[in-house]
Amino acid sequence: MCYIILSGSVSVIRNSDKRVLVNISAPLILGLNIFGEDTIHIKLLSECQVGELPLETAMEIIRTRNLWEQMTYYMMSFSKKIWISSEMLSAGSSYDLIKYQLTELMKEPEDYRNNISADLYIKNKTNLSRSGIMRILAELKKGGYIVMLRGILLKINQLPPKF
């Protein structure tokens, strides 16, 4: 089954460990890739307009309208987002992971960003412990590198290269 997200944002979550692979905004199509339906699931991050289309129907449309090039570019773009997310999970240090995830959080839609704490966002996307995340966030806040209110990231001033 293909899911066509016409508006809104979703998380693509790996079922094996409940790890958020990527947060992505419309327009997008999920289900044209190698992931089986039992491998991942999506979670709506905002109000979304979603349509369903059987994979066979989607492939028939791509064939008859000769949309292979467009599909290839789309799949390359989606794969790159997943690859970058995966690469960051093997970053050198906890701080490198947190720094990357804070930057990614600031790129999220404002309504989503204002409704998730920075520590939960980072915890959902990494294997870091909550206590380790909280320690680094507290130090960054104390140093004036980030501005947070009740756990919500409001602003990144400038993150230090090393921690």
Does any domain span residue 162?
Answer: no
- Over residues 68-104, the pLDDT tens digits come to 999 999 889 888 887 877 777 676 789 999 999 999 9
- Over residues 115-149, the pLDDT tens digits come to 999 999 999 888 899 999 999 999 999 999 999 99
Domain co-membership, 85 together with 106: no
Does any domain span residue 84?
Answer: yes
**Conformation bin of residue 66: beta by default, left when phi > 0, alpha when psi is -120 to 50:** left
Does any domain span residue 81?
Answer: yes
What total of structural domains would you count in the chain? 2
The token duo for 142 is 């104390």
Q: How far apart are CA 82 and CA 84, in angstroms?
A: 6
Distances (CA, A) of 57 to 35, 42, 53, 71: 18, 21, 7, 14
Domain co-membership, 61 together with 127: no
Does any domain span residue 57?
Answer: yes
Does any domain span residue 32?
Answer: yes
Domain that holds residue 53: 2-89
The token duo for 72 is 């290839």
* pTM, full prediction: 0.72
Domain boundary (56, 89, 122) is at: 89
Q: How many CB atoms lie within 10 A of CB 56?
A: 10
Does any domain span residue 14?
Answer: yes
Domain co-membership, 17 together with 65: yes
Predicted pLDDT of residue 22: 85
Predicted pLDDT of residue 85: 75
Instruction: Determine how β-strand 28-30 pairs with β-strand 2-7.
Output: antiparallel
Residue burial 82-109, b: 16+ Cβ < 10 Å; e: rest = beebeebeeeeebbebbbbbbebbeebe
Domain co-membership, 78 together with 101: no
Domain co-membership, 136 together with 151: yes
Q: How far apart are CA 93 and CA 16, in angstroms?
A: 24
Q: At what angle do helices 130-142 and 118-125 cross, to 10 degrees?
A: 140
